[in-house]
């Protein structure tokens, strides 16, 4: 049986033929766009866990960063197997232009293909500096961006399905910064029992210190729109062996077992993806 081929239209070839940003430009823009007035002070403050009354305020207000108003969007694209290479090429040709354009209040945080987990999948993480107003501003501008509209049309021919979520970042996690590679990334997704997000956050605010020695903690997020009571933890490792050693080392630290003991009962479902960065990803 002959293998199926991904048919590349003339429109897609035109998009691929346009020169894209250089890798150095993308990394520089990522560094400039990263915002943190006092990252050391924010890290120190994150060590202190405040008792909260969940009846007085929403968990999004209690657990998210106060220093910034960043909103994140995570996208999961399931690609036709025969089209994955073409999808990656098209993505790498178009998305960095939005990242580099200062008129768009959005920036790429990371772009990956899933290596272990769902196959033939792309994962994209965006940051909107300025929260929901920045998101709406970006969406309205994209409606008149002819190149992006052409890109979406061509991309849709390559996809089997897609979904997304809007996320906030936990106050006690690192804010994702551009990272040199090569690394592999693990996206651990936890679907929690409704009503347990504050308890989860309080436990992890204490436990994150056990996972910082090798700088593997990249970012921690919880969903606001899309599927709710979902937590995403993003980790970076040099390779699978390094991942194994780092995770085993956490169990030798007094206190880590308590975090696992108290948080496992809060979880309804969990999933792990091992991901490989695309060439355009600021997280390499």
Q: What is the model's pTM?
A: 0.83
- Residues of the chain with pLDDT > 70, as a percent, come to 81
**Assigned token pair, 17:** 């033929």
**Assigned token pair, 28:** 């520089």
Cβ 185 vs Cβ 235: under 8 Å: yes
Question: Residue 66 and residue 170: Cα distance in Å, rounded?
Answer: 10
Cβ 117 vs Cβ 106: under 8 Å: no
Determine, yes or no, domain membership for 15.
no
Which domain CATH number covers 240?
Answer: 3.30.70.100
Q: Of the segments 1-15, 175-189, 201-215, 250-264, which one has the largest average pLDDT value?
A: 175-189
Determine, yes or no, domain membership for 177.
yes
Task: Count how many domains the chain has.
Answer: 1
Question: Residue 171 and residue 268: Cα distance in Å, rounded?
Answer: 23
Residue 23 confidence class, pLDDT cut points 50, 70, 90? low
Question: Residue 26 and residue 32: Cα distance in Å, rounded?
Answer: 10
Determine, yes or no, domain membership for 29.
no
The rounded mean pLDDT for the chain is 86
* DSSP at 208: G
Determine, yes or no, domain membership for 207.
yes
Determine, yes or no, domain membership for 1.
no
Domain span at residue 210 reads: 70-277
Determine, yes or no, domain membership for 58.
no
**Assigned token pair, 38:** 């006092």
Determine, yes or no, domain membership for 161.
yes
| Tens-digit pLDDT profile for residues 125-162 | 999 999 999 999 999 999 999 999 999 999 999 999 99
Report which of 242, 201, 195, 269 is spatially closest to residue 49, judged by C-alpha positions: 201
Does position 115 have pLDDT exceeding 70, yes or no? yes
Does position 15 have pLDDT exceeding 60, yes or no? yes
**Assigned token pair, 151:** 């890109």
Q: Please compute the mean of the pLDDT values over residues 243-255 and round it to a whole number.
A: 90
Determine, yes or no, domain membership for 115.
yes
Structure confidence at residue 233 (pLDDT): 97
């Amino acid at each position: 049986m002959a293998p199926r081929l991904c048919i590349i239209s003339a429109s897609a070839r035109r998009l691929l033929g346009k020169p894209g940003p250089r890798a150095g430009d993308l990394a520089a823009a990522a560094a400039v766009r990263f915002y943190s007035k006092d990252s050391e002070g924010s890290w120190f403050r994150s060590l202190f866990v405040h008792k909260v009354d969940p009846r007085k305020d929403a968990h999004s207000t209690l657990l998210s960063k106060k220093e910034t108003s960043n909103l994140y969007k995570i996208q999961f694209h399931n690609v036709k197997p025969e089209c994955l290479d073409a999808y990656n090429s098209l993505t790498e040709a178009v998305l960095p232009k939005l990242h580099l354009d200062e008129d768009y209040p959005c920036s790429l945080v990371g772009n990956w293909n899933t290596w272990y987990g769902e196959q033939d999948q792309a994962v994209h993480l965006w940051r909107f500096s300025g929260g929901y107003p920045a998101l709406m501003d970006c969406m309205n501008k994209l409606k008149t961006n002819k190149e992006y509209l052409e890109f979406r049309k061509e991309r849709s021919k390559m996809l089997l399905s897609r979904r997304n979520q809007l996320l906030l970042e936990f106050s006690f996690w690192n804010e994702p910064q551009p990272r040199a590679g090569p690394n592999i990334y693990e996206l651990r997704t936890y679907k929690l029992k409704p009503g347990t997000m504050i308890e989860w956050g309080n436990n992890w605010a204490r436990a994150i210190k056990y996972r910082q020695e090798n700088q593997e903690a990249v970012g921690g997020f919880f969903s606001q729109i899309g599927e709710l009571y979902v937590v995403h933890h993003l980790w970076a490792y040099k390779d699978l062996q390094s991942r194994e050693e780092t995770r085993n080392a956490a169990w030798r630290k007094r206190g880590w077992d308590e975090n696992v003991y108290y948080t496992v009962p809060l979880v309804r479902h969990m999933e792990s993806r091992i991901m490989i960065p695309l060439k355009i990803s600021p997280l390499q």
